[in-house]
C-alpha cells in the first residue's frame, strides 16, 4: 500500500516535469512532415479518372509461387545464374577481405531466406601456385568462407566445402585478369 | 627358358572395370656364359655399344616388325642410363645382319669403333615368340650375356626393356635400370566432362604408361576427378585423391586384382588427399582437414592407427617419406610462404630446408640423399634438388615453361615432372644432373607424375 502510493507520486512528478519540458522547448526530434506533392508545380488537380468497373478477382489462399522465382527454380538453374556472390582472394591469400565479407553477408541473408538449402563452397586457386599446394590453399579459402558464415549464424551442417586447387579455372587465361577470377570461394547449391 | 606370360587382369574403379595386359617380367635366366664386363678400348671412357635391328627368323610381317622394335627400344633403354656410349643407329645400317648369333661380322663392328654389340633373333612359334640375345665383345667375340626369352608377341618393347635391365644389372655391378618401370599420372586426354555449376567441367582420371611414355593405359574410369596418384612400393596398387563422393578422399586401387579400399574413411567434414606410401608399403602419409585445417597425418595401410604429425595453424601439406621411413618431408607456410620442411616420423625435430616459395618435396631413393621440389621462379616454377650431403641446392630445369611436381625414378637417377614448355602441361623426364630431357606424354593435359618403385 505504502509502496503503491509512492509509485503514484513518482509517476505524477514525472508527468508534471515532462509537461513542463514540453512547455519550455520543442522536442529535439523534428516532426515528420508530409513530403511535397510530386506535382507541386501544378496548381490544379486533373479531373478524376472514371471509376473502373470490374468484378473483384479471387485471391488465392496460398502465396503465388511465381512471386519467388528462386524458390521455384531447380538447382541447376539456380547455380547457372547463382544468386550467391563469389568471394575473391588475394595472391597466395586465404583471408576474407572487406569486399569478401560483404559478399558473405549477402550470401548469409540468402541462406537464412532459403532455410533448407545446403550449399557447397568450392575453393579455387590461380595457376601461379603448384598443383599440390593449391589443393590446401583452396581448402583454406573454402573453410575461411564457411567459418565466416557460421559466425553469422548459418548452421555448419548446411555448409560443405571442397577444394579443386587449380583443376577447374573459371577463366583459362594466363594474366592477372584471369587469375583474379580464379582465386575464389564459389558457392554451389547442392540440395534444397 | 623363361616366359613372358600375357595375363588378363582387372583394374577396378567405381564405374567400370578395364582389362589390361599384365606384364609379368621374366625372372633372370641362368647365364650360359661366364659374365664379364666389357670395357672401353680407351681407358676411362664408357664402352661404345651398338644395337642393330634384331633378326627375324620367320618371314611374317609381325615378327619382322617386332625384331625392328626390339632393336630400337633396346638402344633407347640403354642410352637412358648414360652408362654406355650408344653409337647412333643410322651409322651402321650398311653392316649386314648376323646370319646367326655365332656369325657376327666382328671386323665390321670393330671398324665402326664398337666395344660391344647386342645381337638378337626373333622367331615365331605356335604360341608366341622366342627372342634370343647376346651381348658380344667386339674385340674377342666372347659373349658377356646370352639369354633366351619366350612369350607373347603383343608387346615386343617388353623384351627390349627386360634385356636392357639385364645388361645394366650385369655390366654395371647391380645397377637397377628403370626400363620396366611405369609412370602413373593424371590426364584429361579422353575429353570426358562432369556436370559443373556453371559449365560442364573437363575431368581427369589416373593413367599409366611405360617409363618412356609408350603403352599408355587408363587406370581409373569415373565421371569425376581422380588426381595425385602414388604407387605402392610393390607396384601392385596406386593410391590417389578422388572426388567421386563429392569431396576429396583417398582411394587405394589394387590395379591387378580388381579391388579398392578407402583407408582414410573420409566424409564431407573429414577430407583426405595427397597420399604417399611409406618405403616398406605398410603406411600412408597424407593431408587431411579433419581437424579444421590442412595437416599431415600417417595411418597404417588399412586405415588403422591414424596419427597427426603437424599441429600448426598454417597450411601443412604434400608429404614425402625418406628412404628409411624415419622422416617425412612436407610443405608448410608457417613462415608466411610455402617452404619445404623435414620432420621425424613422430612429428618431432621439424627443420626447414628451403628459403624460397617451394612445394612438392619428393625424397630420392638411396644411395642418393636428396629432396627434389618445385620452387617459384619468374612467373612459374623450376625443379630444384636439395642435397643433404653437401647442404646445397642445384637447379634441374631452367625457366623454360613452368616445371612442377617432380617424382624420382626408383634408382634415383631420373626425375619425372610436369612442364608447360610444349604448351599444355605434359610429363617429361630428365636426369638427376639436369640433362637428357624427354617428353613422355603428348595427348591432352597431364599432371602429377609418379614413378613406380619396382619393375613390372
A177 pLDDT band, cuts 50/70/90, is very high
- From the list A76, A79, A133, the residue facing B317 with the nearest CB is A133
Asked if B389 and B404 touch (Cβ cutoff 8 Å), the reply is no
Cβ pair A130:B271 closer than 8 A:
no
Q: What are phi and psi of B270, to 5 degrees?
A: -140, 75
Residues of chain A with pLDDT > 90, as a percent, come to 58
CA distance B326 to chain A (A): 23
Cβ pair A128:B379 closer than 8 A:
yes
In a domain, A87, yes or no: yes
Average pLDDT over residues B272-290: 98
B27 pLDDT band, cuts 50/70/90, is very low
Cβ pair A168:B331 closer than 8 A:
no
* β-strands B392-395, B438-439 pairing: unpaired
pLDDT tens by residue, A140-175: 999 999 999 999 999 999 999 999 999 999 999 999
Residue B71, pLDDT score:
97
Cβ pair A131:B404 closer than 8 A:
yes
Cell matching residue B294: 590442412
Grid cell 619366350 is found at: B150
Average pLDDT over residues B141-154: 95
Q: Is the pLDDT of residue B30 over 70?
A: no
Put simply, the chain A residues between 17 and 76 with a CB less than 8 A from any chain B CB are: 76
Tell me how far apart the alpha carbons of residues A138 and B291 are, in angstroms, rounded to a whole number.
16
In a domain, A53, yes or no: no
Residue A70, pLDDT score:
82
The 8-class DSSP code of residue B267 comes to B
CA distance A167 to chain B (A): 9
Residue B169, pLDDT score:
96
Q: By the CB < 8 Å criterion, does A114 face chain B?
A: no
CATH label of the domain that carries residue A166: 3.30.1330.60
Q: What is the mean pLDDT of chain A?
A: 80
Residue A59, pLDDT score:
61
A69 pLDDT band, cuts 50/70/90, is confident
Cβ pair B198:A80 closer than 8 A:
yes
In a domain, A183, yes or no: yes
pLDDT tens by residue, B180-224: 999 999 999 999 999 888 788 999 999 999 999 999 999 999 999
Put simply, the chain A residues between 146 and 165 with a CB less than 8 A from any chain B CB are: 160-164
pLDDT tens by residue, B232-265: 999 999 999 999 999 999 999 999 998 999 999 9
Give contacts of B227 with chain A, Cβ < 8 Å.
131, 167
CA distance B157 to chain A (A): 33
In a domain, A106, yes or no: yes
pTM for the whole structure: 0.84
Cβ pair B294:A170 closer than 8 A:
no
Give contacts of B448 with chain A, Cβ < 8 Å.
131-132
Q: How many independent structural domains does chain A possess?
A: 1
Residue B113, pLDDT score:
95
Residue B8, pLDDT score:
34
Residue bearing the bigger pLDDT, A45 or B263? B263
Give contacts of A136 with chain B, Cβ < 8 Å.
287, 294, 315-318, 331
Give contacts of B198 with chain A, Cβ < 8 Å.
79-80, 82, 170
Q: What is the mean pLDDT of chain B?
A: 92
Give contacts of B273 with chain A, Cβ < 8 Å.
135
Query: Quick one: CA dihedral B211, B448, B404, B452, positive or negative?
Result: negative
Residue B2, pLDDT score:
41
A6 pLDDT band, cuts 50/70/90, is low
In a domain, A46, yes or no: no
Residue B377, pLDDT score:
93
Average pLDDT over residues B429-434: 97
Which domain range does residue A79 map to?
A: 71-191
- From the list B289, B337, B405, the residue facing A132 with the nearest CB is B405
In a domain, A176, yes or no: yes
In a domain, A137, yes or no: yes
Cβ pair B404:A190 closer than 8 A:
no
Residue A151, pLDDT score:
97
Considering only CA atoms, which of B171, B37, B50, B45 is closest in space to residue B114?
B50
Asked if B403 and B395 touch (Cβ cutoff 8 Å), the reply is no
Q: Is the pLDDT of residue B152 over 90?
A: yes
The 8-class DSSP code of residue A23 comes to H
CA angle B179, B181, B183 (to 5 degrees): 120
Per residue, what are the HEC states of B206-245? EEEEECCCCCCEECCCCCCCEEEEEECCCCCEEEEEECCC
Residue B198, pLDDT score:
77
Angstrom distances, CA of residue B310 to CA of A132, B281, B290, B326, B347: 17, 22, 12, 16, 6
Judge residue A12's burial from the number of C-beta atoms within 10 Å of its C-beta, 0-12 exposed, 13-18 middle, 19 or more buried.
exposed
- From the list A128, A129, A132, the residue facing B274 with the nearest CB is A132
Residue B48, pLDDT score:
98
Q: By the CB < 8 Å criterion, does A190 face chain B?
A: yes
Q: Is the pLDDT of residue B442 over 80?
A: yes
Q: What are phi and psi of B249, to 5 degrees?
A: -145, 160
**What domains, with CATH codes, occur in chain B?**
33-171 (3.40.50.10070), 182-451 (2.120.10.30)
A12 pLDDT band, cuts 50/70/90, is very low
In a domain, A31, yes or no: no
Residue bearing the bigger pLDDT, B316 or B9? B316
Amino acid at each position: 500500500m505504502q509502496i503503491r502510493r509512492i509509485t503514484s507520486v513518482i509517476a505524477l512528478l514525472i508527468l508534471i516535469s515532462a509537461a513542463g519540458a514540453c512547455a519550455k522547448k520543442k522536442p529535439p526530434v523534428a516532426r515528420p512532415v508530409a513530403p511535397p506533392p510530386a506535382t507541386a508545380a501544378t496548381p490544379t488537380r486533373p479531373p478524376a479518372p472514371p471509376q473502373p468497373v470490374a468484378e473483384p478477382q479471387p485471391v488465392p489462399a496460398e502465396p503465388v509461387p511465381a512471386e519467388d522465382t528462386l524458390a521455384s527454380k531447380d538447382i541447376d538453374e539456380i547455380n547457372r545464374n547463382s544468386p550467391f556472390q563469389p568471394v575473391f582472394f588475394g595472391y597466395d591469400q586465404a583471408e576474407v577481405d572487406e569486399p569478401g565479407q560483404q559478399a558473405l553477408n549477402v550470401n548469409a541473408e540468402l541462406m537464412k531466406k532459403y532455410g533448407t538449402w545446403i550449399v557447397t563452397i568450392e575453393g579455387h586457386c590461380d595457376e601461379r601456385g603448384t598443383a599440390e599446394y593449391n589443393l590446401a590453399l583452396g581448402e583454406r579459402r573454402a573453410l575461411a568462407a564457411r567459418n565466416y558464415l557460421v559466425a553469422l549464424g548459418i548452421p555448419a551442417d548446411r555448409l560443405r566445402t571442397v577444394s579443386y586447387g587449380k583443376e577447374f579455372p573459371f577463366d583459362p587465361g594466363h594474366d592477372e585478369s584471369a587469375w583474379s577470377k580464379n582465386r575464389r570461394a564459389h558457392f554451389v547449391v547442392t540440395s534444397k | 627358358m623363361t616366359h613372358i606370360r600375357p595375363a588378363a587382369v582387372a583394374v577396378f574403379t567405381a564405374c567400370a572395370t578395364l582389362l589390361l595386359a599384365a606384364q609379368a617380367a621374366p625372372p633372370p635366366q641362368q647365364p650360359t656364359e661366364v659374365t664379364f664386363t666389357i670395357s672401353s678400348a680407351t681407358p676411362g671412357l664408357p664402352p661404345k655399344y651398338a644395337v642393330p635391328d634384331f633378326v627375324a627368323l620367320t618371314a611374317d610381317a609381325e615378327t619382322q616388325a617386332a625384331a625392328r622394335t626390339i632393336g630400337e627400344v633396346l638402344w633407347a633403354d640403354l642410352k637412358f642410363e648414360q652408362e654406355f656410349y650408344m653409337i647412333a643407329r643410322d651409322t651402321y645400317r650398311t653392316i649386314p645382319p648376323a646370319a646367326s648369333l655365332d656369325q657376327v661380322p666382328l671386323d665390321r663392328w670393330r671398324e665402326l669403333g664398337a666395344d660391344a654389340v647386342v645381337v638378337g633373333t626373333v622367331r615365331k612359334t605356335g604360341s608366341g615368340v622366342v627372342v634370343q640375345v647376346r651381348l658380344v665383345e667386339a674385340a674377342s667375340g666372347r659373349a658377356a650375356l646370352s639369354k633366351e626369352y619366350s612369350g607373347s608377341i603383343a608387346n615386343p618393347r617388353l623384351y627390349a626393356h627386360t634385356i636392357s635391365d639385364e645388361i645394366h644389372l650385369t655390366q654395371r655391378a647391380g645397377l637397377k635400370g628403370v626400363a620396366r618401370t611405369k609412370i602413373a599420372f593424371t590426364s584429361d586426354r579422353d575429353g570426358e566432362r562432369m556436370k559443373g555449376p556453371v559449365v560442364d567441367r573437363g575431368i581427369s582420371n589416373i593413367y599409366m604408361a611405360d617409363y618412356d611414355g609408350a603403352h599408355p593405359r587408363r587406370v581409373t574410369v569415373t565421371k569425376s576427378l581422380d588426381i595425385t596418384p602414388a604407387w605402392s612400393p610393390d607396384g601392385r596398387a596406386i593410391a590417389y585423391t578422388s572426388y567421386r563422393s563429392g569431396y576429396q578422399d583417398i582411394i587405394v586401387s589394387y590395379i591387378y586384382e580388381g579391388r579398392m579400399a578407402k583407408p582414410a574413411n573420409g566424409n564431407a567434414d573429414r577430407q583426405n588427399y595427397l597420399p604417399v606410401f611409406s618405403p616398406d608399403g605398410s603406411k600412408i602419409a597424407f593431408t587431411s582437414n579433419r581437424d579444421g585445417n590442412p595437416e599431415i597425418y600417417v595411418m597404417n595401410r588399412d586405415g588403422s592407427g591414424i596419427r597427426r604429425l603437424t599441429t600448426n595453424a598454417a597450411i601443412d601439406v604434400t608429404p614425402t617419406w625418406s628412404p628409411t621411413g624415419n622422416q617425412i618431408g612436407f610443405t608448410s607456410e608457417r613462415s608466411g610462404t610455402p617452404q619445404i620442411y623435414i620432420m621425424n616420423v613422430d612429428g618431432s625435430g621439424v627443420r626447414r630446408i628451403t628459403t624460397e616459395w617451394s612445394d612438392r618435396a619428393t625424397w630420392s631413393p638411396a644411395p642418393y640423399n636428396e629432396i627434389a621440389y618445385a620452387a617459384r621462379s619468374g612467373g612459374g616454377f623450376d625443379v630444384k634438388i636439395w642435397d643433404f650431403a653437401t647442404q646445397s641446392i642445384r637447379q634441374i630445369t631452367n625457366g623454360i615453361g613452368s616445371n612442377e611436381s617432380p617424382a624420382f625414378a626408383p634408382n634415383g637417377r631420373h626425375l619425372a615432372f610436369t612442364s608447360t614448355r610444349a604448351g599444355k602441361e605434359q610429363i617429361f623426364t630428365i636426369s638427376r644432373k639436369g640433362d637428357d630431357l624427354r617428353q613422355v606424354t603428348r595427348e591432352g593435359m597431364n599432371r602429377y607424375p609418379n614413378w613406380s618403385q619396382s619393375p613390372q
